[in-house]
Amino acid sequence: MATVLSVSGSPSPTSRTTRLLRHLDPAIATRGHAVTILDARTLPAEALLRADTGHPGISRAVDLFERADAVVIGSPIYKAAYSGLLKSLLDLLPRRALAGRTVLPLATGGSTAHVLAIDYALRPVLSSLGAAHITPGWFVLDRHIATGPDASVVLDPAAAEGLGRTLDEFLSALDRSTSRRAAA
């Protein structure tokens, strides 16, 4: 069993990005993996902005990355880039914080004009942190994420299908990585 860190880089408490990630967490757990949640907006703002890695809240977040076997990282796209909050968090991580880890980048946004932000903004940062395998990411339009009557997430069928394939690819890559580590 691998530990998957599910990271939301959204500053909003009513974030579609966070709802999308929390929608995926049970699917990851169903495949036999432990899921740990990290919502960057809950980190102490002053410590985050001052890059105070000695602060207990920041130390805990860094430790979560270190203990994870894989990371699902989601961000809303603002002005063709991932959130500044996520950038602040990623900047605090050690240089090789994602070394040996499988990573799935996800993004939400209001327009398909932002779809390339995953590959041209987020993927290079994840790569610079040493991610062993960054699976193809997935972008979901805000209008394709709704809330059901029981507060569940309801996705547009086409978005759900693509996201499902993307999650399967990530989990397969994680399973292969876990098997290789176990054999070594």
Structure tokens given for 135: 């699976």
The pLDDT of 37-49, averaged and rounded, is: 97
Residue 141 has φ and ψ, to the nearest 5°, of -65, 140
The yes-or-no verdict on residue 184 having pLDDT over 80 is no
Residue 35 has φ and ψ, to the nearest 5°, of -115, 130
Average pLDDT, the chain: 95
Taking the C-alpha atoms of residue 180 and residue 91, their distance in angstroms, rounded to an integer, is: 29
User: 34-39 and 81-82 as β-strands: parallel, antiparallel, unpaired?
Assistant: unpaired
The yes-or-no verdict on residue 17 having pLDDT over 80 is yes
Cα dihedral angle (180, 124, 111, 156), rounded to 10 degrees?
A: 10
The pLDDT of 92-106, averaged and rounded, is: 96
- Model confidence at 146, pLDDT cuts 50, 70, 90, reads very high
Residue 28 has φ and ψ, to the nearest 5°, of -70, -45
Taking the C-alpha atoms of residue 44 and residue 80, their distance in angstroms, rounded to an integer, is: 26
Give 142: exposed, middle or buried? Use CB within 10 Å, 0-12, 13-18, 19+.
Answer: middle
Give 73: exposed, middle or buried? Use CB within 10 Å, 0-12, 13-18, 19+.
Answer: buried
The yes-or-no verdict on residue 149 having pLDDT over 90 is no
Structure tokens given for 173: 């890559």
Structural domains of the chain, with CATH? 3-183 (3.40.50.360)
Taking the C-alpha atoms of residue 70 and residue 181, their distance in angstroms, rounded to an integer, is: 13
pTM for this prediction: 0.96
